Amino acid sequence: MTLGPTIDGGRLLARLDAFAAIGGTPAGGVNRPALSVEDRAARALLARLGAARGFSVFQDAAANLFLRRSGADNDRPPFMIGSHLDSQPTGGRYDGALGTLAALEVLETLEDNGIVTASAVELVAWTNEEGSRFSPGAFGSQVHATGVFPDGWQDTVDGNGIRLADELAATLAALPEAIERPLGLPAAGYIELHIEQGPLLERQGALIGVVEGIQGTRWLEVVIEGQVAHAGTTPLADRRDAMAVAAAIIARLQATVMPSDSDARLTVGRLTLVPGAVNVIPGEVTFSIDLRHPNGGEIDRLEAEIGALAAETAASGGCRVSLRRSMDVAPAHFDDRLTGIIQSVAEKRGFPTRRMFSGAFHDALFMARLGPAAMIFVPCRNGLSHNEAEYVEPHQAIAGTQVLCDATLEAMQLGKHR
């Protein structure tokens, strides 16, 4: 295997700065919610940069955005590379943006070097990967993979009551220069570069994570119904305090689920109280549970355990409880040939590698259902992500992008086309 073309690291870093300014926060992070004005500005900049290099710009009904660099035979499915441009509300500048801008850098490197690939190479920026404004996450890649929008999406609203459907329409309309295309056009393969979002690569001194798969994620919405009453006059025996029950459920879950299984992850990240007044006993509390495990069967078992524990706790506090799934994504296993290519091109460049499973979900999870898919991780400082302090050393971002470029060319040569 010969070394492929060298990417332009300076250009990549300048692009990372330019996109970090769109929705940039005073603390150096990014607030670019899915389908927001800032998200539209980032999409428009990406489309402009691509068009300036002669790449075709497309979007589908889920507002997934594609930049296509033609190859020798454009009737064959393209090889896809990319990630997402939306962020968490107090997100970092690399989560999603790195993989998207690395994909742009690959396309530009091919263009700079006049390389004719056998088929087209496409950058994709998936819509609403984060899911923090509109649930579920990985929305765009899910719609791409399944060909349908998730159940109930028409009624989905954000925390301010703004409808997903309206924001999607406005986002599509904001990019009239993009050519509309059908959902789910096939790809020959998919590789996504991303920051690890955890501490393993940094701790081990590895530069490139060769990702073998992604653990499963299930999101639950738990609603506790009690009775609104006066905070000062209602004796303990007469209280049906939805907040007291929610606190007890959460405390019991935290004390059992993760301490008894080091592979399990449980997070309560959002909680709302009704009516939410200082001197009123809450009549209703809603909270989220983000539950993850590399083994799908364990997620089922844990969900059943959570349901039983919640019902028992609610009954003893005089409340009712209901649980609803708002997202459910089974674990994914990536393509062995693609992970082998990533490993070998990284070694060829002299980059220390580590094989690993992803704790975070990614759009590659849905692409793995359609065909060969894989991911490349690079370290982030102190393993910190979904945080404004998220940081990737310039040489790490450049190395990951170089591996993405090399692996894409290698995968295309090895006849990955279906």
Contacting positions for ligand GLV (CB under 6 A): 130, 137, 360-361
The only residue of 39, 60, 86, 95 in contact with Mn ion, by rule CB under 5 A: 95
> Which partner from the list Mn ion, ligand GLV, none does 39 bind, CB cut-off 5 to 8 Å by kind?
none
Residue among 281 and 378 whose Cβ is closer to Mn ion: 378
Residue among 86 and 202 whose Cβ is closer to ligand GLV: 86
Question: In whole angstroms, how close is the CB of 360 to ligand GLV at the nearest point?
Answer: 3
> Which partner from the list Mn ion, ligand GLV, none does 96 bind, CB cut-off 5 to 8 Å by kind?
Mn ion
Question: In whole angstroms, how close is the CB of 220 to ligand GLV at the nearest point?
Answer: 14
Is residue 96 near Mn ion by the rule CB under 5 A?
yes
Instruction: Tell the burial category of 415 from Cβ atoms under 10 Å away from its Cβ (0-12, 13-18, 19+).
Output: exposed
Residue among 108 and 388 whose Cβ is closer to ligand GLV: 388
Residue among 38 and 284 whose Cβ is closer to ligand GLV: 38
Question: In whole angstroms, how close is the CB of 238 to ligand GLV at the nearest point?
Answer: 41
* Residue 245 contacts residue 317 (beta carbons within 8 Å): yes
Tokens of 239: 């209280």
Question: In whole angstroms, how close is the CB of 290 to ligand GLV at the nearest point?
Answer: 7
Question: In whole angstroms, how close is the CB of 324 to ligand GLV at the nearest point?
Answer: 19
In Å, how far from its chain's centre is CA 103?
16
Residue among 220 and 319 whose Cβ is closer to ligand GLV: 220
Question: In whole angstroms, how close is the CB of 414 to Mn ion at the nearest point?
Answer: 27
Residue of closest CB approach to ligand GLV: 360
Residue among 70 and 90 whose Cβ is closer to ligand GLV: 90
Helices in 53-208 by DSSP H: which ranges?
Answer: 97-112, 139-146, 164-173, 200-204
> What are the b/e assignments for 120-156, b being 16+ CB within 10 Å?
bbbbbbbbbbbbbbbbbbbbbbbbbbeeebbeebeeb
Question: In whole angstroms, how close is the CB of 6 to ligand GLV at the nearest point?
Answer: 31
> Which partner from the list Mn ion, ligand GLV, none does 42 bind, CB cut-off 5 to 8 Å by kind?
none
SS3 128: coil
Q: What is the dihedral of CA 199, 214, 363, 149, to 10 degrees?
A: -140
Residue among 110 and 327 whose Cβ is closer to ligand GLV: 327
Q: Which stretch binds Mn ion (CB under 5 A): 51-59, 91-99, 209-217, 301-309?
A: 91-99
Q: Which stretch binds Mn ion (CB under 5 A): 66-74, 89-97, 162-170, 374-382?
A: 89-97
Question: In whole angstroms, how close is the CB of 308 to Mn ion at the nearest point?
Answer: 31
Q: What is the dihedral of CA 206, 344, 359, 363, to 10 degrees?
A: 130
What whole-number distance in Å separates Cα of residue 413 and Cα of residue 129?
Answer: 30
Question: In whole angstroms, how close is the CB of 88 to Mn ion at the nearest point?
Answer: 6
* Residue 94 contacts residue 28 (beta carbons within 8 Å): no
Q: Which stretch binds Mn ion (CB under 5 A): 15-23, 88-96, 198-206, 351-359?
A: 88-96
How many of the other CB atoms lie within 10 Å of CB of 413? 13
Q: How many CA atoms within 13 Å lie on the side-chain side of 366?
A: 23
Residue among 96 and 282 whose Cβ is closer to ligand GLV: 96
What whole-number distance in Å separates Cα of residue 329 and Cα of residue 362?
Answer: 10
Residue among 95 and 122 whose Cβ is closer to Mn ion: 95
What whole-number distance in Å separates Cα of residue 328 and Cα of residue 124?
Answer: 23
> Which partner from the list Mn ion, ligand GLV, none does 361 bind, CB cut-off 5 to 8 Å by kind?
ligand GLV
Closest to 344 measured CA to CA, from 412, 417, 407: 407
> Which partner from the list Mn ion, ligand GLV, none does 298 bind, CB cut-off 5 to 8 Å by kind?
none
Question: In whole angstroms, how close is the CB of 93 to ligand GLV at the nearest point?
Answer: 15
Site for Mn ion in 3-32 (CB under 5 A): none
* Residue 341 contacts residue 407 (beta carbons within 8 Å): yes
Residue among 86 and 105 whose Cβ is closer to ligand GLV: 86
What whole-number distance in Å separates Cα of residue 10 and Cα of residue 13?
Answer: 5
Helix, strand, coil abundance in the chain, percent, nearest 5 = 35, 25, 40
Contact residues: Mn ion, CB under 5 A = 95-96
